[in-house]
Structure 1
Amino acid sequence: MASLAASGQPAPPVAKPASAVDSKPAAKAPVLLTVSGALKAGPGKTVQLDLAQLSALPQQQLHTQTPWYPAPRTFSGPLLQDVLNLAGAQGQTLEARAINDYKVNIPVSDAARFKPVLALQIDGKPIALRDKGPLFIVYPYDSDPQLRSSVYYSRSIWQLKSLEVR
């Protein structure tokens, strides 16, 4: 079988992985989070992140009471703000979508103001799918009485799969 170059036909263009945005490395393992929308890389670009990429960001621990567990738990993972910075987010609102297609809008300003964590672990263990994992946006509910309300509880989306920046 002759190669395309030998046959005189031009070689087909080489496509970049969907996760390649500027100098962002492509996900090498299963994608846990896709960030799309208003990104510095431009329209139609996405950033896909795997566990290793999320774990490579500075990790924070947040010990807080939640309405979903009977006692305070320690949530660990990168700050939502760090994930947005990595992706080059440039919008005002995030449409966060879960694996079951539940979605909620989160103001981008929440990331800097309240410093929610994109939890990868609860009490030092990876979050199982059946226990709200593998990704769970958690606010520091004990740090501000304002956060102990249905507004912020509804923004605490678990089984997160994507963020669309608007």
Structure 2
Amino acid sequence: MLAGALPVVASRAETEPVVLEINGRVPASRRFTLADLSALGITHIRTSTLWTDGIRDFEGVLARKVIEAAGVPLTGKVVARGLNDYTATIPLSDFLDYDVILAWSMDGVPFTRRDKGPLWIVYPRGAHAELADERLEHRWVWQLAWLTLP
């Protein structure tokens, strides 16, 4: 197990592991299972990435819905951190301006920890030419497990 990896904590139903924790300026740290995230609404994005071939279908939840569910206004920024300790600071305005998702599958295949899972931040770059800017690619955090609101 990776040092500092997200602990496997049972959900309210005691059946599913936590895949995302939101902390920082939240009323209380929030932990989400895939079922919790799915309950917020499932969204698909068909887009290309620098790391995959062709147009792919990503399934996940809108990032803004997750932040709102944590009880935090969409102002300021968020620090996204993966299980591999990669971090990126992302303006929360991205989540308002674009349908950014926290994806858990690509082309119907769930992500694993070996393949960008449990979650991958995916931007709808196919729908917005300005998102194809390579200077924004660092925001596509994979193995996402934490969002910290400073």
TM-score w.r.t. structure 1 length?
A: 0.79
Aligned residues: 139
Question: Aligned-pair RMSD on alpha carbons?
Answer: 1.7
Paired residue for 1:15?
none
Q: Distance in 1 between matches of 2:17 and 2:105?
A: 17
Greater relative contact order (CA < 8 Å, ≥ 6 in sequence): 2
TM-score w.r.t. structure 2 length?
A: 0.86
On the 8 A contact 1:59/1:76 being kept in 2, the answer is yes
1:89 lines up with 2:72 in the alignment: yes
Paired residue for 1:8?
none
**Runs of 4+ deviating beyond 3 Å:** 25-28
Percentage of identical aligned residues: 37
Give the C-alpha shift of residue 118 in structure 1.
0.6
CA deviations 1:86-137 (Å, max 9, x no partner) are 1112351100000011100000110010110110111112112221111000
Paired residue for 1:121?
105
5+ unaligned residues in a row in structure 2: which ranges?
Answer: 1-8
Rg larger in structure: 1
Q: Distance in 2 between matches of 1:27 and 1:154?
A: 35
Output aligned runs, 1:70-85, within 5 Å.
Answer: 70-85=53-68
Q: Distance in 1 between matches of 2:38 and 2:22?
A: 16
Counterpart secondary structure, 1:70: coil
Q: Which of 120, 123, 126 lines up with 1:139 in the alignment? A: 123
Give the C-alpha shift of residue 153 in structure 1.
1.1
Output aligned runs, 1:1-166, within 5 Å.
Answer: 26=12, 28=14, 29-39=16-26, 41=27, 45-90=28-73, 91-166=75-150
5+ unaligned residues in a row in structure 1: which ranges?
Answer: 1-18, 20-24
Q: More strand by proportion, 1 or 2?
A: 2
